[in-house]
Amino acid sequence: MAQVTVRYWAAAKAAAGVAEEPYDADTLADALAAVRMKHPGELTRVLQRCSFLVDGDPVGTRGHETVRLTEGGTVEVLPPFAGG
């Protein structure tokens, strides 16, 4: 398994109570499952509306189970942003 850093932004950061934390996961789906187990409350609801960047690349509509994570990589959790 790869150790990655999950970084939370805006509402996700508020719901997690931290800006970032490490996880061991092979895929984005694995990492998000671990996040949901650790933060079963509001963050789980926020994640339903989020988009994700993995090592700076947008995940888009790809299945989270197909997005492989690399050792030392970063998952950015991006809630919808308002404004412009």
Ordered DSSP codes for 55-84: TTEE-TTS-GGG-B--TT-EEEEE------
pLDDT tens for 16-66 read 999 999 999 999 999 999 999 999 999 999 999 999 999 999 999 999 999
* Domains, the chain, ordered by start: 2-78 (3.10.20.30)
Q: Which of 10, 20, 12 has its CA nearest to residue 82?
A: 10
Is 59 within 8 Å of 53 (Cβ atoms)? yes
Q: Beta strand 2-8 with 74-78: parallel, antiparallel or unpaired?
A: parallel
Element of type H or E holding 7: strand 2-8
| 82 token code pair | 């308002």
Asked if the model's pLDDT at residue 84 lies above 70, the reply is no
Asked if the model's pLDDT at residue 83 lies above 80, the reply is no
pLDDT of residue 21: 98
pLDDT of residue 82: 59
Q: Could you give the CA distance from residue 16 to residue 63 in angstroms, rounded to a whole number?
A: 23
